[in-house]
Each structure stands twice: as C-alpha cells, then as structure tokens.
Amino acid sequence: MTRVGVIGATGYAGAELVRILAGHSEVELTVLTSRNYAGEKFEAIYPALAGVVDLTCEEYNIDRLCDRADVIFTALPHKLPMAIVPELIQRGKRVVDLSADFRFQDPLTYEAHYEPHTAKELLSGAVYGLSEVYFEDIKSATLIGNPGCYPTSVLLPLIPPLKKGLLDHRTIIADSKSGVSGAGRSPSLTTLFCEVTESFKAYKVAEHRHNPEMEEVLSREAGQEVNITFIPHLIPMSRGMLTTIYATPAGKIGPEEIRQCFDDCYEKRPFVRLRQDTKPPDTLHVRGTNFCDIGFKLDERNNRLVLMAAIDNLVKGAAGQAVQNMNIMLGLDETVGLLNTPYPI
Amino acid sequence: MTRVGVIGATGYAGAELVRILAGHSEVELTVLTSRNYAGEKFEAIYPALAGVVDLTCEEYNIDRLCDRADVIFTALPHKLPMAIVPELIQRGKRVVDLSADFRFQDPLTYEAHYEPHTAKELLSGAVYGLSEVYFEDIKSATLIGNPGCYPTSVLLPLIPPLKKGLLDHRTIIADSKSGVSGAGRSPSLTTLFCEVTESFKAYKVAEHRHNPEMEEVLSREAGQEVNITFIPHLIPMSRGMLTTIYATPAGKIGPEEIRQCFDDCYEKRPFVRLRQDTKPPDTLHVRGTNFCDIGFKLDERNNRLVLMAAIDNLVKGAAGQAVQNMNIMLGLDETVGLLNTPYPI
Amino acid sequence: MTRVGVIGATGYAGAELVRILAGHSEVELTVLTSRNYAGEKFEAIYPALAGVVDLTCEEYNIDRLCDRADVIFTALPHKLPMAIVPELIQRGKRVVDLSADFRFQDPLTYEAHYEPHTAKELLSGAVYGLSEVYFEDIKSATLIGNPGCYPTSVLLPLIPPLKKGLLDHRTIIADSKSGVSGAGRSPSLTTLFCEVTESFKAYKVAEHRHNPEMEEVLSREAGQEVNITFIPHLIPMSRGMLTTIYATPAGKIGPEEIRQCFDDCYEKRPFVRLRQDTKPPDTLHVRGTNFCDIGFKLDERNNRLVLMAAIDNLVKGAAGQAVQNMNIMLGLDETVGLLNTPYPI
Amino acid sequence: MTRVGVIGATGYAGAELVRILAGHSEVELTVLTSRNYAGEKFEAIYPALAGVVDLTCEEYNIDRLCDRADVIFTALPHKLPMAIVPELIQRGKRVVDLSADFRFQDPLTYEAHYEPHTAKELLSGAVYGLSEVYFEDIKSATLIGNPGCYPTSVLLPLIPPLKKGLLDHRTIIADSKSGVSGAGRSPSLTTLFCEVTESFKAYKVAEHRHNPEMEEVLSREAGQEVNITFIPHLIPMSRGMLTTIYATPAGKIGPEEIRQCFDDCYEKRPFVRLRQDTKPPDTLHVRGTNFCDIGFKLDERNNRLVLMAAIDNLVKGAAGQAVQNMNIMLGLDETVGLLNTPYPI
C-alpha cells in the first residue's frame, strides 16, 4: 500500500488532506508535519478527528519523511515548497504541491507576482493539476502544481467553450465569490467572525495573483493570449466558492451547442456535474465534496453567455483535487477516497 | 406636524419604515395597517420595538386612514398598490409606494414583466424615487415609485459615468449580491436558515424583473436605449447588497476623471460616500444606514472599468430611501430621521 | 443484501437517512416515499445528491413498499406512523420510527403530551433506540422508537452517573441548545434566515415534549421517579446540539470516579467520545457524524457536577442513530455506513 | 458642553463608545486614543463611520487628554487602567473604566483572579456601574467600574428576587451564552469565522473571571455570601448575550409575586423591559440597543424558577451602560444618546 505524508498538515488545506487520506482505502497516511504543532497529536488540534486519526505531528525532516512516505503532499505557503520539493523529487518521491510554486510554466510570470523562483528547473516537468483537463499528463507526472481554488472554479467552466472557439476571448469577465476558509487558519483581523458576518465585499480587485495563473492556462488551451478581468469577493460562510463568468459568444450559438460542448469534455468525468435543469449551481450542494457543479444561461438580449460554477474551495479547490491527482498518478480510479455521500443540507 | 401612515407595516420593509419613522423628529407616525395582524400591537410582532412604538395594527380602511394621515407609505406586494393608490391621490394624499407599480413610465414594460396595469393614468405623473438623481422632480411629486433595491445599487454608481459618456453602453454587466431580507418575511423554503447558510448561488439569471426597471432609467439618463446583463445572487446574510458592475470605457479615461465624475454628481449628496482610498465598499459598513458606498477600479490591462456599490437593501434599497423621498417632498432636510450613527461592526 | 425503504424521505431527517443509507455497504436503498414530491427524482429536491442517489420519490403504498423493502424507516411527523406501522410489523417488516409514536412505554404519558394513541398494543414490544444503552434489546427488536434529539443529548451523559447513584436525582437541570435543522424543512416564520441569524433564545421553557420522554427513560434507569428541568434554546446555526447538565452529587466524588463511570459504560462504544482533556465538547467537532462527545467538570466550590454533550441533531440525534439501530438489529457491526471521516472544520 | 475622550477607541467596545458618543446631543467627543492606530483617521479603521466621525486617533498623552476632555472612558485590557486612572482622577476628571480594574471592592478578590492591584486606594471610592441598581451612588461618583457583560446579564434578573428573599441563594446556576464580539478585536484562532460558525461550546467552565465579580455584588445585595455556578458558552453570532438562570424559590411563590418584584425594581427604569407575555427574551430584539429584556418561568413540577435575560454585550454589556453611567454622573437623563430605535430584524 502506498504510504503518504502531508507537509503542513494543520492548516485548513492540510487538515482537509488528512481527512480525505484517512478515509482512503488504497493509501496509508503515515507522516504529518507541522511547524507550530510538532509533538502534538493531530486530534488535539482538530478534535473532530479524535479516535479517527491517530497520528502525531512532527517537525519536517527529509530523511525521516522519505523513509516512511512514497507520495508527499506539500500544503505550505508559497516559497516554502520551492526549498524542499527539489530534494524530494531527487529522492524519487512523487509530490503534489498545493502552493503556487509549481503552477506556472513561465518562471517570469511567477516571479512577477510572487517571489524569485529557486527551483526553475522543475517547472517544465511539473504538471498543472487540473485533473479533468490534464488527466493524461498527470498519469505520468512526478510533480503536480495543484491549481488554486479560484482558477479551478474559472477554468473548468471556461475551457470547454473557449477551446472550441465558441467565445470571443477578449470579452471574458470572472466574478468569483469565496467562503472564508480560503484565507487559511492564521489569525487575522480580516477573517474574524465579527468582521466577516453580514459583510460582503470585493478584494484585490483586478489584482489577485490567481489572475495570471488562469491566464497562462487559458492561453495555452486557447492557443492564443487570453486576458480576463477577475474580481474575487468574500462571502460570510466557511466553505464554498461560486464563480459567475460573462463572455460574448464568438458567433451565433444556442443552448444545445453549449451543452454538447460540456458533455464532450466532461460526460465521463465523475466530478463535474452539468446541471440538467435551469437551477443555478449552489455552493451548498457541493459542500464537503469534490464536485464542480456547472450551469449556464444565454442572455440572448445582450448576446452574452453566463457560466456558473460551484465548488468547495477546500476540496475540489485544494485537497480533494490534490488527492484526485494522486489517484491518477498512482493508476487508481480517480474517485477513490472522494466519494463520501454529499450532505443534503 | 405631518402625520404618516404605513400600509403593510409588518413585512420587513414596512417594519423598517416603522423603525425610521418612529425616530423621525418632523413627522408623527399615526397609522399602521396589516392584513395578517390587524388588532395586534406592533410590538407583539416585532418585540424589538417594545416600549418604543406603541401602535396597534389595523385593517386597511381608506376613510380612517385619510382622516389620520397626510403622507402614506404603501409597502405591499406589487398589484395591491394599483388598487388603492389612485383614491389616496384623489383625496390629496402624498404617497410613496415601495412596490414596482409606479416605477415605470412605460406601462407596456410594466405589463410585460408584472401584471395588467389598472392605474396607468398615474404613471406619467409618478416620479421615480432615486433620490440623488431625481431630487428636483421629487420635491413637487405627489406619487413616488420608490426604486427597487437592485436598481438602486446599480443606478447610483452607473448613472454618473454613463450620463457623462464615459462608458460604452453596450458593454454593461451588473453582478449583484443580496442578503436574504430582500426576499421578505413570508415563510418560504428558499429563505429558511438551513437552505441559506453556507449557500451562495445566482437566481433568476438574466430574467429578474428589476432588469427592465434599470434599463428604463438608464436609457432615459443616457438618452439612448441601454440594455444590460443583470445577474442577482443570494448571500447567506440578513441585510446588505453589493453590486459589481463591469463596463468598457468609451475612450481613454483615468481614475481622476472617474472620481471627478462622481464628485460632480454626489459631492453634496449626504448619503453617497465615494471611497477615498482603495478599499472596496463593504455591506457591513452600510448596514442599518441609508448610505450608498461607491468604489471603482480601472482594470487597465483589459480596458474595463469596475464599479462597486454597497447598500443596505432594507434602508437605501427600500424604507430609508422612501423616507428620504418623503423628506424631499415635504421640503425637509433630506437626512431627517436617517442619521442614526452607523455601527462599527 | 437487505433492502431498505424510507417513508418521508424529503424532510431533513429523511434526507439524512438517504445520505447515510446511500453510502451503506451492507444494505440497498430501494424505496423513497414523499407526500409532497411523489414522482420527482430525489436529486431534484436535494441537488447535492445529483449523480449519487438515483431514486424517484413515490406515494406511500404498502404493497409496493413491502414487496421491495425488508427494513422500513418512518421519518414522519408524529401521529402518522401510528397509522401505518402496525401493518408493516404485521407483514414481518422491521421498522425504525423516528417520530415520538413508539418512544414511550406508558401510553398515558404519550397521550398527555401528544395525541390519543391508536397502536398501544405495540408499545410494550417497541424498544427505545438509544443505541448505547439498549444495545441488547435492540438486537432482537422488530420496532424501534428512535430517540428524540434532545433526549439523546441528555440521556447519554446523564445515565451513567445517575445509574451508578452518583447524583442527587432531584437536582437535575438540562440546558440544551439546538441548531435550526431540528425544526424541520416546512416553511415557517420562526426558521427563516432573517429571524434566526443573530438570534438566540429559549423556547417552550419547561414545556417541551422531549421532557417526559427523558424522564420516562431516566426513571427506568434510576429505578425511581426522576424529574428534571429542561430548557431548549435555538442556536443560529444549521446542525448541532449542545446540552449542559447541572446536578448535585449524591456524595463526595472526584473527577476520576466520574471518568471511570463513563469508561465503564462507553469505553467500547465507538460513537461516544469522552474528552480526554479539559476542552469542552463543541458541536463543530461532531458535525455530520454519529459521535456524541461528552465532557464534564466538577464545580467543587458549589458541589455541582457539570456535564456537557455535543451531537449532530440530524445524525446521532436522528438518522445516524436510526441506522445504528438498524445495524444492531441486523447483526451488523453498529458502525457500518456511519464512519465517514469528520470534517476538521 | 461636556467634552469626552475615549482611551482605547479602536477595540470593539471603544468603537461602540465612539458610535454612541458621536450621536450624543449633550456631550462632545474630542479625543480618541489608540496604541495601534495613532495618527490614523478613525474612519480608516471603521469605514462605517466615514463622514460621520471626523477624528484622528492619537497616542495617549495625559496632558493633551486632560486639556481637551472632562470625562474619560477607558476601554483597555485590564491592568492598563490601573496605571493611568489614578492620575486622571487626581486631575479632577470623571472616569468610566470598562475593564475589571475598578469593579471589585475587595482587592484580594481582584488579585486572586487578575493581577496585583496597583491602585487599591481608589477601590473603596469607585462605584460599580450597574446603572439600575447603583443609580444613586453613580450620581456622585467620580470613578465607575463598568460591569462586565456576563455580570450585567446575570445581575439584572437575579438581584430583584434575591434581594427580596424569594430565592434559596445556595441553588443558583447561570448558564450564559455570548456572541463573539465579546472576545474583542485582537486576531485569535478561536474567533476566526471558520472556527466559530456551526460551533457552539462552553468555555472556562466554572472558571470564568466574571464569576467572582457576580458573587461580590450578589453577596452585597443579599446581605450574605452568595456563590453561584456560572458557565459561559460561545454563540456563532456577532452581538448578543442570553443568560438562563435556575434557582429554587425560598418558599411558595407564584408568577404574580415575581412580576411584582421586577416591577418594584424596574418599572421606572427605561432600559429594562420585563416581557409582558410568555415569549422568552431574544438577543435579536435587543441588538444594537441598551435594553435588557427579562423573562421568567416557574417550573412548578420541579419547584424551580427560570430567569432569562437578553442584552447586547457591546451596548448594555459595555459601551451603552458606560454612557448611561456618564449620563447619570452628569445629571443628564440617563437615556440621552441611547434611544436609537431598535431594528425590527
């Protein structure tokens, strides 16, 4: 059985990895590291998992890690993975990195929005882990740059019609809304309960670092440079992300054509659910799951296509997709460990 | 002292009118009507107001109403006001109607989206109560069609640059998000706590009846037909509305020009606050107030202007603006009764 | 494989049964009935389960039901089960009823707080489905009266010390707090989002119908009449229940004695977690799970024992415990279908 | 016009003081100090107050403060006020301190639960600012120790029946529930949105420092030593506190006697509302107000009295009561500045 370690197991994405991997029938979770909680039982930090996960957090030590794990998830703030991933790869480990460090093919784009990159040599070999789109590449990958939550919610609904040439690529606007867990577990004024409840607002307006990430992928898929306007907003809720996309069709299209376009891409993909009726996707319906629910509407009066996608930012937007990618890398069914029945409410 | 009655006082907008009018120094609240609660003390329905509002709800009776009130607020579902407002006007009362019945100049537009109109003769004389824009007309009005909450949040940020010709009017998209109180107080599955919390979704996608309302006003102000794409969303919170608007500038513009455009329109308007820094408007900052906070950002990479506006849907989006309109009609300072200090959180 | 039907599958408890049973490896979910949604796909009502549960709701018809199901869950308002359960039992089905109809041994108590009882003959044979306490009786039961949510959260922490004689039975107070889902899915003013958010209040103060249910069980276990003061409160959240119990020790006791008392009862019970540290139980830690987390504190200054228990009202407080009881009846491991890994947040 | 300064103006209680004092017709708010935000406009920290409060935060400097303010509110963490209040008093200022530093008559009690006290000489002259109970003493006070939020919600319902001898003082239990704003504005893991939402739990079980504060006051009022069991809980909401109190009557009493007892104490007190019906108090009904809503129920079966009180922890539980105390000290009507009409929802 494949042994798995999580580096940075006590942040929200790390803990979500622990949840999924603890219930995964084909791998064994063997190592959890945490800078802040080394020496503490995981269940002392997340009492929900008392009696379920019986592991103790430890300091990161590459030798001890590599002795006990074959696949490594790095759930750390960006910049930190660059420092440790190269050696993990060198030692023959497979790595899924949840930070931005290995998402970009072009190091200049990364450096323009993040930091000087110190492991550039790995970028060309790293695979962008948008599971449904890069499935084939992921199979043989040793290093996955797991997508950001916003990019996942923008790219899954946008790539099919864009790639098929149905959209005027100069007209794309993505208005995204995210639950608070996306901001992580570090105490901060902006994520205090009293600052968030009854608050709804945009932030990093047209300046968010997920914007270049989306554009690199969209440009690659469209075969030409694509720039989009992207505005994230914060929702007073814990988990969930909804993206509403606006674009002008490249020519005359009808709903059947759009539906067909999605079916062509996703009909056999278990985690994309194209709504079969006119109800728009709802974050409540994907909460705690790896699903991406997609809906659309043609605003014919204004000749605009409206795409909507709902995900759980911690699952399909982070830990769930990471495990899906591991499954694909290991030749397992991509759904293993990810089919917990969704809660009705 | 002017005597005021509220028809439909126990819905959320009606109760908010009661709140504001109870603290208004220049008018006296004399009559509350309610179909469901006639005979009951208002404070039995809204115990928050125990000891503050000492009025009993009564059946609607035009004679008793007209004997005791000079200005009437009708806070009823659309269609009902059409049936009673004509006689109120005939008896010399001034009326602020919070429904859609008197918002449209063109009865055909109203009828296409609502009902057959049975008081068409009043439409041409009714004034659309967007206080900051139709201030002069409101002064002499006898009948106000008080704007919808979504239109208020869309029109206030959009009219200044549109009117000044700064925007390509074919490119306008309004992505709005509303708290749940906008759906009213009638029990309904869709507004139950358990259906709303952790839920975020669009609804009535490109089909909402506030869309033609916005377009009639925008077309009038722009001097040409303006159509926009409008998508409302539901936020898991009680009060508050945020609208994010996307539009392509008509030519080269910079932030100073936009700021100047807003200052020209609103610098002396006490309830519009143009943010002086780069922080986007936040519903929490206008909660319980009649303010409309406006912010903007030029996405120069994509040549798009992003406008953002935050209001409390029950105050500036309904009852507050209604009282502001009454103040203007009565020749009072428009702020009377509306200057309760905002809560910091 | 045992075939299972759910009567009343579209209420919150019914839908939670569907969730759990859909993921249960040892039974097959075959029949869902719904008065309001007969003919509709279950996933149209609960889109979260799209692609996961492929069943259509149907009208209740005893023949069609009994042909296709061996175990029946009735998740209906009280009074309705009395009318259908007798025939189900007669036809040899095993029934778990989630209403109050079969919880009482004494029909007079039931009738004093509910309705005239029309199936009294079944009461003596029905087993009260508090799984950890009546495990042995449940094994051979054909009819289970599944406990109310409040009684579950009160009885599990209270029975061990009460039964062992550690408590003065005249001093017991249970102060319970419940999330809104306990009130069900029928639209009602009191469960609207805007009425609940930022609201916390008691209701049915010392008058709730779960009070006699608790007392019948406590009296049976204590071997003498036990009356308690029980006050429920409503929390502005969806799922979760916390009960704080106050009682005076019968004599001198220390924390070790209490811990031992709980260990004696629950050490081998997989769904009761006695907190091993001083952190009080938290509803967030049991959300979506069948766990009951128990904590305690001796207030030695006042010679009082404080017991605290957290459950998910829809799982251990309803559907989860119902499935646990079915497992026990069928001779399965009691945890089958109930071991989804808890969410860290 | 009396000039007023707020020391520690940017915490939640400080900001709430600013809100109330900004709308107070009889005093002028002249000085705001803040350690973290000196030099910044208050509205930059609390944008809700943009255009309403035009003051800049400054460093604490006693000379500059005393030149410009006659009454000082200290809204600082305990220990800090001890260091500055003595000199303020010496310079003839009137001080309302919102910390615990001047709430205790007995310095040993304070020191047992807080810190060594460095201004003990002021304790005997300080008045405990429970406005309704110590009204007469407050009139002539120069230093007010403003009550804690929990004590306010416990003492107001408990003092009247306790003082009148209606209760067995050995049987009192207070089960309190508080919104998150009571924990303040300093970033902390425990008050993050994702840790709080869907979470309900007790904390500091029978160990909270407000417990001795309550007991000192209760003992003084009862004329004998009174100890109570006090358990605080955290509610997933922003503002609001509900306390449920349990006590055994000292003899035979009926509801009229209890009602009379409350009327005797509070009939003329504008901020205590005894519910006139059987609806229990609700935090939503006092949100943003200085009201304390009180209800009660006799559990005759168990011979227990249940008292319930709802306040807004930031208003009657902190800033509102502080301003009420200032009003009383200054000989103003106690309601000035505190009569903003409550929101219906």
Q: How far is CA B236 from CA A46, B185, B210, C66, in A?
A: 26, 16, 21, 42
Interface test with A, best of B168, B180, B199, B246 (most A CBs within 10 A): B199
Residues of chain C positioned with their CB less than 8 A from the CB of B187: 187-189, 192
User: How near does any CA of chain B get to the CA of A276, in Å?
Assistant: 16
Cβ contact (<8 Å) for D340 and B342? no
Average pLDDT in the A66-88 region?
98
CB distance from C197 to chain B under 8 Å? yes
Cβ contact (<8 Å) for B200 and A246? no
Average pLDDT in the A188-203 region?
98
Paired tokens of B212 = 């033609």
Domain assignment present for residue A302? The answer is: yes
* Nearest residue in C to D230, CA atom: C299
The domain that contains C79 carries what CATH number?
3.40.50.720
> Residues of B with catalytic annotation?
149
Choosing from A57, A66, A149, A292, which is the catalytic residue?
A149
Q: What percent of chain A has pLDDT over 90?
A: 99
Contacts of C265 (CB under 8 A, 6+ apart): C132, C159, C160, C272
CB distance from C19 to chain A under 8 Å? yes
Please tell me the predicted confidence (pLDDT) of residue A276: 85
Residues D220-274 have pLDDT tens digits of 999 999 999 999 999 999 999 999 999 999 999 999 999 999 999 999 999 999 9
CB distance from C12 to chain B under 8 Å? yes
Rounded to the nearest 10°, the torsion over CA A182, A187, A190, A196 is: 70
| pLDDT at C277 > cutoff 90 | no
- The residue type found at B69 is A
User: How near does any CA of chain D get to the CA of B275, in Å?
Assistant: 9
Residues B281-320 have pLDDT tens digits of 999 999 999 999 999 999 999 999 999 999 999 999 999 9
Please tell me the predicted confidence (pLDDT) of residue C278: 81
Nearest to C206 among D235, D238, D299 (CB): D299
Domain assignment present for residue D57? The answer is: yes
Domain assignment present for residue D338? The answer is: no
Domain assignment present for residue B339? The answer is: no
CB distance from A284 to chain C under 8 Å? yes
Q: For chain C, what is the domain count?
A: 2
Residues of chain C positioned with their CB less than 8 A from the CB of B191: 192-194
Query: What are the DSSP calls for D112-167, one per residue?
Result: HHS---S-GGGTTT-EE--TTTSHHHHHT-SEEEPPPHHHHHHHHHHHHHHHTT-B
Residues D44-70 have pLDDT tens digits of 999 999 999 999 999 999 999 999 999
Please tell me the predicted confidence (pLDDT) of residue B146: 98
Average pLDDT in the C314-329 region?
98
DSSP state, B181? G
Residue B23 pLDDT class (50, 70, 90 cuts) = very high
Residues C119-135 have pLDDT tens digits of 999 999 999 999 999 99
3-state DSSP of D171-205: HCEEEEEECHHHHCCCCCHHHEHHHHCCCCEECCC
Please give the backbone phi and psi of residue C152, each rounded to the nearest 5 degrees, phi first.
-60, -45
Nearest to D19 among B22, B47, B341 (CB): B341
* Nearest residue in B to A299, CA atom: B206
**Domain assignment of residue B308, given as a range:** 150-313
CB distance from D345 to chain B under 8 Å? yes
Average pLDDT in the B87-95 region?
98
Residues C152-198 have pLDDT tens digits of 999 999 999 999 999 999 999 999 999 999 999 999 999 999 999 99
CB distance from C47 to chain B under 8 Å? no
Choosing from C66, C149, C261, C265, which is the catalytic residue?
C149
Looking at the fold, whether C157 and C306 belong to one and the same domain comes out as: yes
Touching A (3+ Cβ pairs <8 A), the chains are: B, C, D
Paired tokens of C304 = 């009082």
Looking at the fold, whether B198 and B298 belong to one and the same domain comes out as: yes
| pLDDT at A41 > cutoff 90 | yes
CB distance from B308 to chain A under 8 Å? yes
Residues of chain A positioned with their CB less than 8 A from the CB of B195: 284, 345
Residue A324 pLDDT class (50, 70, 90 cuts) = very high
Please tell me the predicted confidence (pLDDT) of residue B173: 98
Looking at the fold, whether D273 and D171 belong to one and the same domain comes out as: yes
Average pLDDT in the A13-36 region?
98
Looking at the fold, whether A289 and A323 belong to one and the same domain comes out as: no
Residues of chain A positioned with their CB less than 8 A from the CB of D185: 189, 192, 194
Domain assignment present for residue D339? The answer is: no
- How many Cβ atoms from other residues are within 10 Å of residue A251's Cβ? 9
Q: How far apart are the first and last CA of chain D?
A: 35
Beta bridge partners of B286: none
Please tell me the predicted confidence (pLDDT) of residue D181: 98
Cβ contact (<8 Å) for C16 and A341? no
| pLDDT at A277 > cutoff 90 | no
What rounded mean pLDDT belongs to chain C? 97
Paired tokens of C297 = 């504190």
Paired tokens of D30 = 């002249």
Please tell me the predicted confidence (pLDDT) of residue B277: 84
Domain assignment present for residue C334? The answer is: no
User: How near does any CA of chain C get to the CA of B273, in Å?
Assistant: 27
Residues C63-93 have pLDDT tens digits of 999 999 999 999 999 999 999 999 999 999 9
Touching B (3+ Cβ pairs <8 A), the chains are: A, C, D
| pLDDT at A334 > cutoff 90 | yes
Residue B229 pLDDT class (50, 70, 90 cuts) = very high
Q: How far apart are the first and last CA of chain C?
A: 35
Residue B278 pLDDT class (50, 70, 90 cuts) = confident
Paired tokens of C235 = 């929390």
Nearest to A308 among B202, B238, B239 (CB): B202
User: How near does any CA of chain B get to the CA of C186, in Å?
Assistant: 7
Please tell me the predicted confidence (pLDDT) of residue B276: 85
Looking at the fold, whether D142 and D171 belong to one and the same domain comes out as: no
Cβ contact (<8 Å) for B341 and D16? no
Residue carrying structure tokens 């009567």: C7
Nearest to B194 among C189, C194, C238 (CB): C238
A153-162, A271-280, C48-57, D9-18: least confident range: A271-280
CA distance B102 to B87: 14
CA distance D84 to D93: 12
* Nearest residue in C to D197, CA atom: C237
Residues of chain A positioned with their CB less than 8 A from the CB of B168: none
Please tell me the predicted confidence (pLDDT) of residue C324: 98
Looking at the fold, whether C49 and C126 belong to one and the same domain comes out as: yes
Touching C (3+ Cβ pairs <8 A), the chains are: A, B, D
Q: How far is CA A65 from CA A5, A13, A74, B287, in A?
A: 7, 19, 12, 51
CB distance from A168 to chain B under 8 Å? no
| pLDDT at A344 > cutoff 90 | yes
Looking at the fold, whether C203 and C242 belong to one and the same domain comes out as: yes
CB distance from C187 to chain B under 8 Å? yes
Average pLDDT in the A81-87 region?
98
Judged by DSSP in three states, B63 sits in helix
Average pLDDT in the A182-191 region?
97
Average pLDDT in the C325-330 region?
98
Please tell me the predicted confidence (pLDDT) of residue C223: 97
| pLDDT at D197 > cutoff 90 | yes
* Nearest residue in D to C194, CA atom: D345
CB pairs under 8 A between A and C: 105
Domain assignment present for residue C86? The answer is: yes
Is pTM beyond 0.90? Reply is yes
Buried b / exposed e over A87-99, threshold 16 CB at 10 Å, is ebbeeebbbbbbb
DSSP state, D290? S
Residues of chain C positioned with their CB less than 8 A from the CB of A53: 341
Which residue in D258, D263, D259, D313 sits closest to D291, CA to CA?
D313
Residue A301 pLDDT class (50, 70, 90 cuts) = very high
Average pLDDT in the D277-295 region?
96
Paired tokens of A19 = 């949840």
CB pairs under 8 A between A and B: 146
CA distance C162 to A87: 59
Q: What percent of chain D has pLDDT over 70?
A: 100
User: How near does any CA of chain A get to the CA of B194, in Å?
Assistant: 7
Average pLDDT in the C93-118 region?
98
CB pairs under 8 A between C and D: 145
Looking at the fold, whether D223 and D291 belong to one and the same domain comes out as: yes
Looking at the fold, whether A166 and A300 belong to one and the same domain comes out as: yes
ipTM of the complex: 0.97
CB distance from D187 to chain A under 8 Å? yes
Distance from chain centroid for Cα C117:
21
Cβ contact (<8 Å) for B48 and D20? no
Looking at the fold, whether B17 and B106 belong to one and the same domain comes out as: yes
Please tell me the predicted confidence (pLDDT) of residue B333: 98
Looking at the fold, whether C124 and C169 belong to one and the same domain comes out as: no
The domain that contains B265 carries what CATH number?
3.30.360.10
Looking at the fold, whether B173 and B279 belong to one and the same domain comes out as: yes
User: How near does any CA of chain B get to the CA of C173, in Å?
Assistant: 28
Domain assignment present for residue B238? The answer is: yes
Residues B138-192 have pLDDT tens digits of 999 999 999 999 999 999 999 999 999 999 999 999 999 999 999 999 999 999 9
Residues of chain B positioned with their CB less than 8 A from the CB of A228: 302
Which residue in A131, A181, A158, A172 sits closest to A294, CA to CA?
A158
User: How near does any CA of chain B get to the CA of A239, in Å?
Assistant: 7
Paired tokens of B174 = 């309004």
Interface test with C, best of B192, B283, B287, B345 (most C CBs within 10 A): B192
